[in-house]
Structure 1
Amino acid sequence: MIDIEFFRSQGYVVVPNVVSEDLVDAVCEAVEKFCGVEFDDPLSWTSFVTQKNGLPELTGAGMVELYHHPSMWALRQNPEIYSAFAQIWEHEALWVSIDRCNLNLPQRIKGDFEGFVHWDVDTSVDPLPFSLQGFVALTACEVGGGGFQCVPGMPARLHEWIQTQPEERNPFKPDLKGLEITEIPVEKGDVLIWNSLLPHGTSVNKSCVPRLVQYLSMAPAEEDDLTLKNWRVQAWKNRLAPEGDAFPGDPRKWEQKNGITAELSELGRKLLGLDPWMVNNHEIKRKGNQKYGAPGF
């Protein structure tokens, strides 16, 4: 069970030991092969080159343009992960995001990355949207290890904080003056879920080992949006990257040339949008006041 009260007050929650070691290791091996590195061989780490990103703070941040390896889909359709998101949403009919991994190498290797804190949603709109983001920890990460950092409690007080800011403020990047940034440690196999109104980002890796996560979120299904539904199915079938500035894709088209289309479970087909959500023979419709905010939908 998730500590809902902690999530509501702090804007994030760590769900411990959700994913088994074998499922996590399968994604790690896929990332190693895709990036041409070996995590236990520091000499190989310099082979990893990230693509220039449409979001400046993500350039050099270690985004891995791998989206559809079967091991990644195994996590997307994992029943325990689904249950965690469904509990927070209080909603059964969800779609899963199509997102990538992040490989944050030690600063002594990549040197120029200074970390960042941002929002993926527009915080200038009224009312403020509610959505979720998350990741599966593929490696353990202590404070200083290049992991998740945030401003705990900000979603609960964001409206009041905005009133203290100038009108010309950047709605995607907070002025951190007076705010306390906290790094959140995780263990391998943990799932971290956060409210998209939480200022968050990736910290500098001051350790000697890489930090690796798979980004993964869920949101109420948009089954009436046939354009979006069809794109999602085609992306899965043909192993395509999401569209948008934040997703430059792999210029090698490695997945299209070398990958295979992942098999989906009954739950996975619904989470993709391939099959409709039905309860007691009635299709579940998305609640009107819920909005997407997480990348990858």
Structure 2
Amino acid sequence: MASITAFPDSNGYTKSFSLEETSELLEFFEEYGFVVIRNIIDSQSQIEETIDEIWSLLRVLNPKIDKNDSSTWDNKYWPIQMGLKDGGFISHMSDVATKMCWENRQHPNVVRLFQILLKHDDLWVRYDRYGMMRPTKGIAFKQNDNDGSVIFEDRPEWRSKPNWLHWDQNPWKYPDFIGVQGLLALSDTNPNTGGFHCVPGFTHRFKQWSIDNEKEHKSRGGLVNVPENDSIRNEVKQIHVQKGSFIVWDSRLPHGNFPNESDQFRIVQYITFDPAKEDDKRELTSRIDAFHMRTLSSKADEQLAGFPEPQLTELGEKIVGLRSWKTNERVKSSFE
């Protein structure tokens, strides 16, 4: 039987590289369209603080949610309208305004990885989101508060969308390479936990697929779902990683999430970079305004009361646009 795990190592995780193995990781990425870098965040406390921040953000969306009480993870409390059920995403304005998400974005290892893959030193980070999938099997529910007894139950209705496979890059608008996407794993993944899956190597067939399928499936939108009857789906492989690892994939690669079938949470942070456009003053201003959302929006400031402000390093200022990559000088803005 063929393995559902892409390129499994001796521990069952997908083959990974250290950041220092530059030529090897580049060769793998160019052949298969994705690559896993292990221990890109090697601080357990940083990972734990990030997870705590995510739970705090969930409580902003619904104060009844409690990470220690599984009854509060039910659909009637869980912010499924924010994308947290079907895709396992947390879509929230605070994704660009909280401390730990910026600690991870500005981590030198993360920035360096994208510099290697994009072959470009001057980068801006996209303001992306967190992701969380609830457990769906063998979940412990409190049965009696007095004696601490629990009962174990399944919640299949908490599963995310099955067989989700798509492109964020429209094949008919952009048939060639335009960029990459990435995620930081904040929990270990295996065939049961839910996680990232893709079609390794499809980048080399992307343009031809767009030609062959133009008449039947051409779309004007950004996100394009792989047709349900397409044989591409028979080539899907799951990417299993340890927490602290980073997955990066070419945007031409069909990808998505597979559902959680375990008693554990699957937690990630989506992080992506593009070449900086320091001469585009409109985009630069927009980025700086977005970073200062708590100052510009009274609603955001109210929701995030009590959350520590991001503390940017010089590298962090550069990936926002607050400091020039070219001159290393602070960029003048209305917030100075």
Maintained 8 Å contact 1:237/1:261: no
What's the counterpart of residue 172 of structure 2? 124
* Distance in 2, Cα, partners of 1:237 & 1:105: 31
Alpha-carbon displacement from aligned partner over 1:189-215 (angstroms, at most 9, x marks no partner):
001111111111111111111101000
Deviations 1:40-64 (A, max 9, x none): 54333223213356xxxx7632221
Q: Distance in 1 between matches of 2:303 and 2:257?
A: 26
2:89 corresponding residue in structure 1: 63
Q: Report if the CA contact (8 A) 2:293-2:300 is conserved.
A: no
Q: How does 1:209-228 map to 2 (within 5 A)?
A: 209-228=264-283
Q: Which residue does 2:181 correspond to in 1?
A: 133
Distance in 2, matches of 1:38 and 1:185, equals 28
Helix, strand or coil: the match of 1:9? Answer: helix
Between stretches 110-119 and 194-203, larger displacement belongs to: 110-119
Unaligned 5+ runs, structure 1: 242-250, 283-297
Aligned residue for 2:147? none
TM-score (normalizing by structure 1): 0.82
Is it true that 1:42 corresponds to 2:70 in the alignment?
Answer: yes
- Structure 1 stretches of 4+ moved >4 Å: 37-41, 251-258
Question: How far 1:186 sits from its partner (Å)?
Answer: 1.1
RMSD, aligned α-carbons: 2.6
Counterpart for residue 153 of structure 1 = 201
When Rg is computed on C-alpha atoms for both structures, the one with the higher figure is: 2
- Answer whether contact 1:119 1:200 (CA < 8 A) is retained: yes
Pair 270,52 (structure 1): closer, same or farther in 2 beyond 3 Å: closer
Q: In 1, Cα distance between the equivalents of 2:295 and 2:250?
A: 27
Higher deviation after alignment, 80-89 or 169-178: 169-178
Letter in 1 for 2:34: Y
CA distance in 1, matches of 2:169, 2:191: 26
CA distance in 2, matches of 1:52, 1:22: 28
Identity %: 29
Match of 1:201, as an amino acid?
A: G
C-alpha distance in 2 between matches for 1:254 and 1:145: 35
- Counterpart for residue 76 of structure 1: 105
Instruction: Say whether 1:10 aligns with 2:39.
Output: no
Q: Which residue of 1 aligns with 2:128?
A: 99
> Structure 1 stretch 125-134 or stretch 263-272: which is displaced more?
125-134
Out of 194, 212, 216, which is 2:249 matched to?
Answer: 194
Please say if residues 95 and 272 of structure 1, whose CA atoms lie closer than 8 Å, have aligned partners that are also in contact.
yes
- Deviation, 1:260, is 4.4
Comparing both chains, which one has the higher relative contact order based on Cα–Cα distances under 8 Å and sequence gaps of 6 or more?
1
The TM-score with structure 2 as length reference comes to: 0.73
Amino acid at match of 1:77: Q
1:5 is paired with a residue of what secondary structure? Answer: helix
Structure 2 gap ranges (5+): 1-20, 60-64, 137-154, 330-336
Q: How many residues align?
A: 268
